[in-house]
């Protein structure tokens, strides 16, 4: 913890908050999108909004891998486990994402599906080794951060000749999603992006140049620690006030311009671009996701099992789509906190702790509900 | 009188089989050679289906708890001592002196007798150290695959201490919220073993019987209003329960909440919040603010409460929210955990 405590220093945070309040122009609004769910989580958990002036508005973006996974893809995983009898391995917070028929992977487990939580794709490989008579499918999700470990697992499976391991690949790409948000007709007004942390350690800062150059939106790449986020906000405000639109890197301790070349090469060896992929909230986005290359087709669960992805519309009352695009705030959804809660999520934004709705419900809903009466001492 | 057995119980290599729960000679041997030998006391020695106990003076308190921990053995304890501590604590936080325990074992066919012997010995040691005997019990064996080694249910009986009125419904605005030590040690100790996470500094469970600490606290501060042990769901769930029971809000000071660096680091790694993680030997006490220092002094004077601190305040809030002033000077809610504590993806 000694390496992160410096980035959680309350005294520094309060001073930084005061500097942001003093520096932000009172006559304008700053609408800043934090793309990553990790930033959303940090902002909520540390109460960062309380340190910002009212004209600085943080808009939650779609950077939560659990939130952007469409219902149809979870349905696929559930069918693999329930109908094809595979051992379905995936990350923890994927288990509760609502699917069709009031199911989720966790509920499917209760109905007899063999669903196992893993911390890494290599754990799924171990499950495959330990169960040679069973088919083991790793439900792979995530942005560029989680893709390299998946590539390692696939290569390892091939090296070991593990014939019972395959991948249901849902790896998606950050720049494509950012472009989709900016290109959406009548889309949300944004003044800048707090750029992804872990994703950028892999892809580097260079892929964000088009957003600054072509769209005129400043991007400041920030770490997930709360002081990182606050510094990035301060840097964005400075750029906006200066009339600049550049890619700046606050997270210099981990991110370089070119990123992690080795990880990029690994991903390129195992995966290729899909022509298009359905995102929850963003619809079908061209060249926004990855699939296994033909050389690794034997490890592709979609090729191996007859489980086509069937698009499923979101619940009619659910506003996750607008929230993921930054058009609405969680509390503006009609079912927020009533029909849709973390215990009984209707939409995916209420599932993961990185989801905008779950973060607001869990950490911030006291702000929109009636204020407490004054403390009275006995 | 000792029963005639053709073979001695093989505590080194033997395993539980269905005959150990069938009511026959094998079961009698298991009870005699293991349970009675380890846990033995004058009440168990009565050998009847229940225990005849002396009359008690004062209102009775009773609590029961099923223990299904996996793995059965973890750094700092095992299911045996945990099953004793957990129920003693449930009785003690009612403001009672725990007197007796009953224990019910569900054993899985195939369970190594050596493991069971270790668990029962640990249970016996914990009961002896606490001065709370196991006075009656039951044993069942289920087929392989229908349990997870061993499940232990313990029930405790105690007598409420005179002049003490503690309840989760008693918190009042202005009261101080105290905690007896660092939070989350037990939950992370279990998780570190369950998930094969090797940490540089091993995290050890805090499992302990709290009735001595509570007795000292109540002797010094009989005006304590609420006592709870933050087990499953951790501090967050416990305080939300109290807020709901009492119809109040609670505001915590993040900087004051004690969490060991190793526990905080492990939570960080897994994307979990230490406030949601279970403790098995920690006490939450809520008392009038005027008596908080006296109560803290009493807690700190006991070996189990040396790191006791004040972590927050009860406020009037009809929404019954638990909130926290963050280290940054911001505010956030401390909500109930939704479902199970699942690690975040990144």
Report mean pLDDT in 10-residue bins for chain B, 346 residues.
69 92 89 92 92 94 96 95 98 98 97 97 98 96 95 98 96 98 95 75 92 98 98 96 98 97 88 93 98 98 98 97 93 86 63
Is the bond leading into B83 cis (omega within 30 degrees of zero)? no
Here the tokens at position A292 are 């296994």
What is d(CA A14, CA B329) in angstroms, rounded to the nearest whole number? 7
Here the tokens at position A160 are 């070991």
Question: A186 vs chain B: nearest CA distance in angstroms?
Answer: 31
Contact A373 B343 (CB under 8 A): no
Q: Which of B338, B340, B341 should we substitute to test contact with A (largest number of A Cβ atoms within 10 Å)? A: B338
Contact B328 A4 (CB under 8 A): no
Cβ-based contacts under 8 A for chains A and B: 140
Contact A377 B173 (CB under 8 A): yes
Exposed/middle/buried for residue B223 (C-beta within 10 Å: 0-12, 13-18, 19+): middle
- A31-59 pLDDT per residue, tens: 999 999 899 989 988 999 999 999 999 99
Q: Does residue B326 belong to the interface with chain A, where contact is any CB pair within 8 Å? A: yes
Please report the pLDDT score of residue A266 as a whole number.
97
Task: Indicate the residue of B255, B316, B326 with minimum beta-carbon distance to A375.
Answer: B316
Instruction: Return per-residue pLDDT of chain A as tens, 378 residues.
Output: 566 778 888 899 999 999 999 999 999 999 999 999 899 989 988 999 999 999 999 999 888 888 899 999 999 999 999 999 999 999 988 998 889 988 999 999 999 999 999 989 999 999 999 999 999 999 999 999 999 999 999 999 999 999 999 999 999 999 999 999 888 877 788 999 999 999 999 999 999 999 999 999 999 999 999 999 999 999 999 999 999 999 999 999 999 999 999 999 999 999 999 999 999 888 899 999 999 999 999 999 999 999 988 888 888 899 988 888 888 899 999 999 999 998 888 888 888 777 899 999 999 988 865 444 434 333
Chain B partners within 8 Å of A145 (Cβ): 346
- Nearest-10 crossing angle of helices B79-92, B211-220: 20
Contact A358 B338 (CB under 8 A): yes
Here the tokens at position A369 are 């509900």
CA A164 and chain centroid, separation: 29
Contact B328 A106 (CB under 8 A): no
Task: Indicate the residue of A50, A198, A372 with minimum beta-carbon distance to B329.
Answer: A50
Dihedral in degrees, nearest 10, Cα atoms A70, A76, A81, A82: 110
Please report the pLDDT score of residue B295 as a whole number.
98
Question: B346 vs chain A: nearest CA distance in angstroms?
Answer: 7
Q: Does the interface ipTM go beyond 0.85? A: no
Given a contact cutoff of 8 angstroms between Cβ atoms, the answer to whether B106 and B142 are in contact is yes
Q: Which residue has the tokens 């070119």?
A: A258
Give the CA distances from residue A11 to residues A8, A19, A54, A146, B176, in Å, rounded to whole numbers and listed in that order.
9, 12, 21, 34, 25
Contact B330 A48 (CB under 8 A): yes
- B288: helix, coil or strand? coil
Given a contact cutoff of 8 angstroms between Cβ atoms, the answer to whether B140 and B106 are in contact is yes
Exposed/middle/buried for residue A237 (C-beta within 10 Å: 0-12, 13-18, 19+): buried
Given a contact cutoff of 8 angstroms between Cβ atoms, the answer to whether A190 and A89 are in contact is no
Question: pTM above 0.95?
Answer: no
DSSP B12: T
Chain A partners within 8 Å of B173 (Cβ): 375-378
């Amino acid at each position: 913890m000694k390496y992160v405590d410096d980035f959680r220093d309350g005294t520094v945070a309060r001073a930084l908050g005061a500097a942001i309040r003093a520096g932000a122009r009172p006559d304008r609004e700053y609408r800043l999108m934090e793309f990553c769910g990790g930033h959303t989580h940090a902002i909520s958990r540390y109460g960062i909004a309380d340190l910002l002036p009212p004209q600085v508005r943080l808009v939650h973006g779609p950077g939560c891998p659990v939130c952007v996974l469409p219902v149809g893809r979870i349905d696929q995983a559930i069918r693999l486990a329930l109908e094809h009898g595979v051992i379905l391995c995936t990350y923890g917070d994927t288990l509760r994402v609502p699917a069709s028929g009031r199911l989720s992977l966790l509920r499917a487990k209760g109905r007899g599906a063999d669903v196992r939580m893993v911390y890494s794709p290599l754990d799924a490989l171990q499950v495959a080794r330990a169960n040679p008579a069973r088919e083991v499918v790793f439900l792979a999700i995530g942005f560029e951060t989680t893709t390299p470990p998946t590539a390692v697992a696939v290569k390892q499976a091939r090296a070991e000749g593990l014939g019972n391991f395959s991948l249901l690949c849902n790896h998606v790409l950050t720049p494509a999603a950012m472009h989709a948000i900016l290109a959406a007709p009548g889309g949300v007004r944004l003044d800048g992006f707090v750029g992804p942390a872990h994703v950028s350690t892999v892809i580097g800062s260079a892929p964000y140049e088009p957003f600054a150059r072509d769209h005129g939106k400043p991007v400041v790449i920030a770490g997930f620690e709360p002081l990182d986020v606050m510094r990035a906000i301060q840097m964005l405000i400075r750029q906006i006030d200066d009339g600049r639109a550049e890619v700046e890197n606050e997270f210099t301790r981990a991110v370089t311009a070119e990123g992690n070349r080795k990880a990029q090469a690994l991903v390129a060896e195992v995966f290729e671009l899909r022509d298009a992929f359905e995102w929850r909230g963003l619809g079908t986005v061209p060249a926004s996701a990855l699939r296994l290359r033909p050389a690794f087709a034997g490890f592709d669960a979609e090729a191996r099992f007859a489980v086509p992805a069937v698009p499923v519309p979101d619940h009619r009352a659910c506003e996750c789509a607008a929230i993921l695009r930054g058009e609405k705030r969680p509390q503006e959804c009609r079912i927020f906190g009533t029909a849709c809660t973390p215990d009984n999520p209707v939409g995916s934004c209420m599932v993961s702790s990185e989801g905008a709705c779950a973060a607001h419900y869990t950490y911030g809903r006291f702000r929109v509900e009636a204020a407490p009466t004054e403390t009275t001492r006995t | 009188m000792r029963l005639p057995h053709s073979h001695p119980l093989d505590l080194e290599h033997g395993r539980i089989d269905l005959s150990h729960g069938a009511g026959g000679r094998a079961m009698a041997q298991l009870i005699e050679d293991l349970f009675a030998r380890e846990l033995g006391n004058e009440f168990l020695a009565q050998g009847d289906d229940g225990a005849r106990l002396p009359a008690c003076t004062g209102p009775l308190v009773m609590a029961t708890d099923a223990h299904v921990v996996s793995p059965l053995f973890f750094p700092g304890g095992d299911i045996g001592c945990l099953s004793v501590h957990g129920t003693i604590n449930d009785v003690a936080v009612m403001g009672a002196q725990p007197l007796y325990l009953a224990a019910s074992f569900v054993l899985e066919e195939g369970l190594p007798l050596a493991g069971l012997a270790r668990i029962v010995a640990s249970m016996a040691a914990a009961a002896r150290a606490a001065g709370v005997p196991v006075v009656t019990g039951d044993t069942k064996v289920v087929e392989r695959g229908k349990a997870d080694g061993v499940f232990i249910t313990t029930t405790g009986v105690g007598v409420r201490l005179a002049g003490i009125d503690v309840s989760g419904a008693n918190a009042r605005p202005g009261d101080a919220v105290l905690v007896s030590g660092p939070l989350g040690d037990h939950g992370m100790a279990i998780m570190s073993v369950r998930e094969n996470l090797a940490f540089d500094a091993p995290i050890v469970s805090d499992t302990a019987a709290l009735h001595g600490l509570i007795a000292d606290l109540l002797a010094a501060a009989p005006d304590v209003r609420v006592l709870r042990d933050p087990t499953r769901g951790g501090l967050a769930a416990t305080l939300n329960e109290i807020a709901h029971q009492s119809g109040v809000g609670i505001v915590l000071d993040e900087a004051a909440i004690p969490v060991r660096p190793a526990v905080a680091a492990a939570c960080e790694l897994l994307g979990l919040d230490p406030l949601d993680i279970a403790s098995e030997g920690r006490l939450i006490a809520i008392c009038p603010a005027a008596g908080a220092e006296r109560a803290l002094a009493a807690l700190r004077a006991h070996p189990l409460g040396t790191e006791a601190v004040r972590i927050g305040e009860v406020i009037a809030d009809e929404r019954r929210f638990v909130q926290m002033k963050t280290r940054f000077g911001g505010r956030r809610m401390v909500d109930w955990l939704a479902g199970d504590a699942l690690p975040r993806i990144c």
